[in-house]
Amino acid sequence: MALKEEILKLAERTILSNQEIATILGCSRRTVNRYAGSHTNRCRLKSNIDEDLFKIRKCVLLPDIHYPKHDVQSLKALDEFLVDYNPDELVYMGDQLTLDSISSWNRRKPLLKEGQRLITEYKNFDRDILRRHESITRSDCKRTFMIGNHEQRVNWYTEEFPELQGLIDIDYNLQLTARGYSIIDYNTIYKIGKLNVIHGFYWNKYHSCKTLDVFEGNVVYAHVHNPQMFCKLSPIDRKGYHMATCLPCLSTTRPEYQENAPNAWVNGFGIVEHMPSTKLFNLYTIIINNGSFMYNGECYGL
């Protein structure tokens, strides 16, 4: 029954041939014919179908900016790319802001908090990141703002000081909803076609393997700041592989609190191109080295 439903879904929502549907679902063309009928008849019925469903949509994933501890050169190269690439969507994957001024980790470290003001961090982030990206992308570009563990510090801080509820809220200070941003709550999955986008849960040595074992589906995440990938194909379900991909970060790779200790942090971001009618996608990891990278025959950041 599940196979029949998947065949009918692809047959109704796409113009894929019966053989293409059979290949995607791992069944025979005869099975597709039985449930969906002929490809010719389906195409006749879809002569007035919404063409936008078959246009490839371009999405840029922005992982772990950690403003104001962002990597300035990496973001300058990213700006150049955004102008050329002209994305349909920007997804801020969480930890856009560091919010060290309200971090419980810094409660007994006044030197680390010296001169920090939450309102200043909000204003400068809006000026340097959000409004900058808005100025170089289309007005109809979809914008998605995921809450990472650093943004969640606002809620944790409010739990301790409830009299501040609403005053230090991210949406209130950045006016995200009013500006058309979609806000994805902490530890919530955001879907791009068949790809699950999360901020990230695990930071062990083999975090991509752990993530895939738990989610059992295609997932991309950030949080750990170092790129990693793990893939598996079930011997029971051979319709397609599942992959967990961790993206690099857009923050500095030499955090002060590590005091120059070695780490595996890498600068970069992600690109997702997907087709709404099929929900199929391709995910590309872009590595930024010393503030520059190459994509589609162009060099950015030099």
Q: Of 81, 129, 85, nearest to 251 (Cα)?
A: 129
Q: How far apart are CA 160 and CA 19, in angstroms?
A: 59
> Counting every residue, how long is the chain?
302
Q: What is the pTM of this model?
A: 0.82
For the chain, percent of residues with pLDDT exceeding 70: 87
Helix axes 18-25, 2-13, angle to 10 degrees: 140
Q: Are residues 10 and 146 in the same domain?
A: no
| CA torsion, ordered 16, 196, 247, 186, to nearest 10 deg | 160
Residue 103: per-residue pLDDT: 62
Q: How far apart are CA 40 and CA 22, in angstroms?
A: 16
CA angle, residues 20, 189, 27, in degrees to nearest 5: 20
Q: Residue 58 is inside which H or E element, if any?
A: strand 57-62
Residue 125: per-residue pLDDT: 97
Query: Which region among 3-12, 34-43, 160-169, 292-301 has the lowest average model confidence (pLDDT)?
Result: 34-43
Q: Are residues 44 and 61 in the same domain?
A: no
DSSP string, 198-243: ------STTHHHHHHHHH-S-EEE-SSSS-EEEEE--SS--S--EE
- Domains of the chain: total: 2
Residue given tokens 């007994």 in the structure block: 108
Q: Are residues 103 and 38 in the same domain?
A: no
Residue given tokens 């990141």 in the structure block: 129
Domain containing residue 113: CATH number: 3.60.21.10
* Cis geometry, peptide bond prior to residue 63 (ω within 30 degrees of 0): no
Decide if pLDDT at 49 tops 70: no
> In this predicted model, which residue has the larger pLDDT, 259 or 195?
195
Task: Read off the amino acid at residue 173.
Answer: N
Q: Are residues 45 and 66 in the same domain?
A: no
Q: Are residues 22 and 67 in the same domain?
A: no
- CB under 8 Å to 82, separation ≥6 — which residues? 60, 90, 133, 136, 137
Distances (CA, A) of 183 to 13, 170, 176: 28, 10, 8
Query: Which region among 75-89, 101-115, 146-160 has the lowest average model confidence (pLDDT)?
Result: 101-115
Residue 295: per-residue pLDDT: 96
Q: Are residues 296 and 231 in the same domain?
A: yes
> Using one digit for the tens of pLDDT, what is the confidence trace for 191-211?
999 999 999 999 899 999 999
Q: Please state, rounded to an integer, the average pLDDT across all residues of the chain.
A: 88
Average pLDDT value for residue range 259-279:
87
Structural domain span for residue 31: 2-49
Decide if pLDDT at 116 tops 90: no
For the chain, percent of residues with pLDDT exceeding 90: 58
> Using one digit for the tens of pLDDT, what is the confidence trace for 91-103?
999 999 998 887 6
Average pLDDT value for residue range 143-163:
92
**Is there a contact between 248 and 288 (Cβ–Cβ < 8 Å)?**
yes
Q: Are residues 232 and 114 in the same domain?
A: yes
Average pLDDT value for residue range 266-280:
92
Task: Read off the amino acid at residue 118.
Answer: L
Q: Are residues 180 and 82 in the same domain?
A: yes
Q: Are residues 152 and 19 in the same domain?
A: no
Q: Are strands 219-221 and 242-246 parallel, antiparallel or unpaired?
A: parallel
Q: Are residues 76 and 221 in the same domain?
A: yes
Query: Which region among 36-40, 53-57, 221-225 has the lowest average model confidence (pLDDT)?
Result: 36-40
Q: Of 217, 211, 215, nearest to 229 (Cα)?
A: 211
Task: Read off the amino acid at residue 297.
Answer: G
Residue 112: per-residue pLDDT: 54
Residue 55: per-residue pLDDT: 87
Question: pLDDT tier at 221 (50, 70, 90 boundaries)?
Answer: very high
Q: Are residues 83 and 17 in the same domain?
A: no
Q: Are residues 28 and 64 in the same domain?
A: no
